[in-house]
Amino acid sequence: MRAINTLLMANRGEIARRVFRTARAMGMRCVAVFSDSDADAPFVTEADVAVRLPGGYLDGDSVVAAAVEAGADAVHPGYGFLAENAGFARAVTAAGLVWVGPTPGAIETMGDKLAAKAAAEAAGVPTLPSSEDPGDPGDVGFPLMVKAAAGGGGKGMRLVSDPADLPAAVAAARREAMGGFGDDTVFLERYLRRCRHIEVQILGDTHGNVVHLGERECSIQRRHQKIVEESPSSAVDDGLRAAMGDAAVGLAQSIGYHSAGTVELLLDDDTGEFFFLEVNTRLQVEHPVTEAVTGIDLVREQLRIAAGEPLGYGQDDIAFAGHAVEARLYAEDPAAGFLPAVGTLAAFAPPSDPAVRWDRGVEAGSEVGLDFDPMLAKVIAHAPTRSEAAGRLALALERLHIGGVTTNRHFLVTTLRADAFLAGDTTTDFIERVDPSRAAALSVSDCQQAAAAAAMWLQAAERKEARTLGWMPSGWRHGRLPPERAELAVETAAGPVEVRVSYRPRRDGSFVVRAECVDAEVEAPATIAAWSPEGLDLEWSGRRIGYAVTADGERLHLTGDSETVTVTVLPRFGAPDRGLAAGGFAAPMPGVIIEVRVTPGEQVASGSTLVVMEGMKMEHHVNAPCDGTVTEVLVNPGDQVDNGSPLLVFEAAGASAAEDSDGG
C-alpha cells in the first residue's frame, strides 16, 4: 500500500473540480494543470498548486513533468484527454507516480473496440455481428453503424441504411476518427433500431475482487452523445440486472481489471437480449447517478484502489436506494441541430431549491469557446421514485438563472417532462421519435410581461444610481408629465419581438404600465414588491413573479417562473442593416472549412452538400435548401470562420424569373 498525499488532476473543468472535492475530503493536496485559455477558470483557482502546460492537455510529457515538479504522489486522469491513453499511464508509473486507473494493458485491450469485442466474446458476453472490412458488410446487414475502432463520445460514427451511402459514410467516419483520435481504423456493426444503451459500473481492486454497482441507462442521445442518464433503468428487472452484472464482472475478471470501469451494452427492446458494446476504462460523466443510488463515492474508491487498498466489501453488501437522473447542460443550440454555442456566461446561478447536485466547471463570467467540450454542468437529482427525480431535475433546470450563451436547458426540461420519458419509453431513437421542443415558445403576453419587468427594473436601477434627490420615490414627478418610455426587444426562438413600454407613477408608489407589441397592448397597475441589483419582485397584470436579473451591457437576463428571457434595450436610432446579401449562406457555428464541394455557376439539387465544416471535432454539412445555382463561393478549405461568417451565395431555381415577372 502506498499513501497518496498530493494528487495531480490531468484534466480540467467540472472533471477537475469533481475529483478535487473527494480528494480534499480524503486529506489530499490538489494540483491542477491548465492551458492558456483556462488560466482564469474556477478549477485553477481552487487548486492548491496550478501548473501551466506549454503544450496543452494532450502533452503527456508536460503533465508528468508538472506532477514531479509539484511533488505529487499520484495522477488522476479524469475522463477524456489522456484518461484512456496507455502510453501516458506507463509514463506516469515510470516517473515513480501512482496511476489512478487500470493497467496500461487493460487500457490498450479495451481502448480498441475490435480487441475489446474479441475479449468479450472470449468471456462469453454476447456480441453483435460485425465486419472489420468497412468495404464488405458481409452478414452484418442494413441498417449498420460505421464505428471508429479507437473512438468514443459519438465521434467517428455514421448510421447507414442504404448500401449506396456506405462509401461516403466510411470516408467521413475515417476523417473524423483521425481528427479525434489519430487513428482512422473503422469497422461495421449491426444497428438495432429499438434498443437501449445500458452501462454496468464495475469496481475491481488489485487483490482480485470485482463487483458491479448496478446499471445506468444512457439511451437519450444526440449525435450519439449522451444527454440524459439514469439509474436504475426502467427496462431492467432483478433477473436481467444480475445477468448483465455477471457478464460485466466476468469480463473484468478475465482481463485482470482493477479501478473503476464501465461495461457498455445494448439492450434489444423487443427481445430483451443484451449485447456487448464497449468498455470504458475510466470514470464516466454519468457516474453520479450510480453514486446517488448506491451511496458509494466512485472517486474515493478509485483512489483507495490505486493506493493498494482492498475494496472491503462484496457484491451482497451493495444496496440500491431510490432513483437518480442526470442531465448534461450544454452550450449549444438544439434548434440549430445542436450546434455548439460560444460566448460569455453573464449569469450562472443555480437555485438552492429544489436540492440537486450541480457538478460544473463554470461560473458567472466564464468564457465558453470551442476549444473544449461544450458541457457547462451536469445536474443530478435523486428521489425515492423515478417520476419525482425527473420532476425535481426539471424544476431545478427551470429555476437556473443563466444568460449570455445559448443552451439546451429548455430541451432538457421538455424531455424530462415528456409523457414518453415518464413512461420509461426511452430507446435510443427517443429524440427522433418524441421530438421534444427545442426552444421555448414565448407568447405575446410572455413578451409583454418580460418587457414590463425589464422596464421596471431599469427605472428602479436608474433611480438608485441618481446622484441628486436619490431619496425621492422612484418615478416621482411634481406635475403631470407624459409617461416614461422604453423601447425593448425580447429574444424569442422566432427572432426578437419589439415591445414599447410606457409607465407613469401613482401617488401610492405603484405604477401604471402599458406594454405594446405586434397588434396587442395591455395596461395595468404595477407594484414593485422588492428590488435589488440582482432581482425584482413585480406584480403586474394580475401576476406576481420574482425575477433574478443580471445586467449585461444593453441586455438584461431575467429568470422568472421558468426559463430565462433576455431583453435588449434598443437604441433610439437603429444601426444600418449590414446583413448577408439575399441568398447568402452563413456559417452556423465557428469552425474550420474542411471541404468546398461546389464552384461558382454550378447548379445543384436540393439537399446537396455545398460546404463541409468542422467544429468541436464534429463535421457539419451545409446543404442546399432547394434546387438552385451557386453564384459565388467565399471560403476555401482550411479557412477558419466565425459564427455567421458568409460562406457562399446561392440562387434558388426560378428566383430570377419570379423577380422579373414581379418587376413587369
Domain presence at residue 236 = yes
Question: Same domain for 338 and 428?
Answer: yes
The CATH number assigned to the domain holding 401 equals 3.30.470.20
Q: How far is CA 457 from CA 29, 44, 346, 548, 559, in A?
A: 45, 35, 17, 11, 13
Cβ atoms of 86 and 108 closer than 8 Å:
yes
Using the Cα atoms of residue 180, residue 181, residue 183 and residue 187 in order, give the sign of their dihedral: negative
CATH of residue 548: 3.30.700.30
How many Cβ atoms are within 10 Å of 362's Cβ, its own excluded?
22
355 and 209 in one domain? yes
- Taking only Cα atoms into account, the Rg of the chain, rounded to an integer number of angstroms, comes to 28
User: Is 574 a domain residue?
Assistant: no
How far is it, in rounded angstroms, from Cα 181 to Cα 140? 25
Please, which residues bridge with residue 358 across strands?
379
Residues 238 and 324 in one domain: yes
Handedness of CA 329, 335, 338, 339 (dihedral sign): negative
As a 3-state breakdown, the chain gives helix, strand, coil percent values, each rounded to 5, of 25, 35, 40
Is 615 inside a domain boundary? yes
Distance CA 342, CA 370 (A): 7
Q: In whole angstroms, what is the distance from residue 347 CA to residue 364 CA?
A: 5
Burial class from Cβ neighbours inside 10 Å (0-12, 13-18, 19+) for residue 658 reads: exposed
Task: Write down the pLDDT at residue 369.
Answer: 87
Residue given cell 403631470 in the structure block: 480
Fill in the amino acid letter for 641. V
Specify whether 255 is located in the same domain as 385: yes
Q: Which amino acid appears at position 149 of this protein?
A: A
Q: How far apart are the first and last CA of the chain?
A: 89
User: How many angstroms separate the Cα of 94 from the Cα of each of 33, 60, 68, 91?
Assistant: 20, 13, 11, 5
Residues 630 and 213: their CA atoms lie apart, in Å, by 56
Same domain, 83 and 57: yes
Q: How many residues does the chain have?
A: 664
Residue ending a domain, choose from 569, 603, 635: 569
> Do 201 and 68 lie in a common domain?
no
Dist CA 534 CA 551 (whole Å): 8
Q: Residues 371, 428: contact at Cβ < 8 Å? A: no
Q: How far apart are CA 448 and CA 442, in angstroms?
A: 10
User: In the listed set 190, 216, 231, which residue is the last one of a domain according to the structure?
Assistant: 190
Backbone angles phi, psi at 228, to 5 degrees: -135, 130
The three grid cell numbers given for residue 87, joined into one nine-digit string: 502510453
Range of the domain at 79: 6-100
CATH code of residue 629: 2.40.50.100
The verdict on 179 and 218 lying in the same domain is no
Please indicate, yes or no, whether residues 205 and 331 belong to a single structural domain of this protein: yes
Q: Read off the CATH number of the domain in which 27 is found.
A: 3.40.50.20
Look at residue 341 and tell me if it is in a domain.
yes
72: which 3 cell numbers?
Answer: 505529487
| DSSP alpha helix (H) spans, 352-408 | 386-399
C-alpha cell at 663: 418587376
Within this chain, do residues 15 and 90 fall inside the same structural domain, yes or no? Answer: yes
DSSP H/E element including 34: strand 29-34
CB atoms within 10 A of CB 526: 21
Total structural domains within the chain? 5
Same-domain pairing of 502 and 521 = yes
Residue 113 domain-assigned (yes or no) = no
Give burial (CB, 10 Å; 0-12/13-18/19+) of 25.
Answer: exposed
User: What whole-number distance in Å separates Cα of residue 60 and Cα of residue 88?
Assistant: 6
Are 314 and 221 in a shared domain? Answer: yes
Q: Do the strands 74-76 and 6-9 form a parallel or antiparallel pair, or are they unpaired?
A: parallel
Q: Please give the average pLDDT of every successive group of 10 residues along the chain, which has 664 residues.
A: 95 97 98 95 97 95 98 96 95 98 95 89 93 89 90 80 93 88 89 94 97 98 92 97 97 96 96 94 97 98 98 98 98 91 95 97 93 93 98 98 96 98 97 95 94 95 68 55 88 92 91 93 95 96 94 95 93 52 70 89 86 73 84 90 83 58 38
CA angle 385, 387, 389 (to 5 degrees): 70
Residue at a domain's end among 538, 569, 600: 569
Residue 112 falls within a domain, yes or no? no
* Ramachandran angles phi, psi of 143, nearest 5°: -75, 155
Quick one: pLDDT at residue 470?
53
pLDDT score at 645: 84
Decide if 143 is inside a domain.
Answer: yes
In sequence order, the 6+-apart residues with CB closer than 8 A to the CB of 121 are 127, 276
Does 426 lie in the same domain as 450?
Answer: no
Q: Return d(Cα 421, Cα 416) in angstroms, integer.
A: 6
Q: Identify whether 107 is part of a domain.
A: no
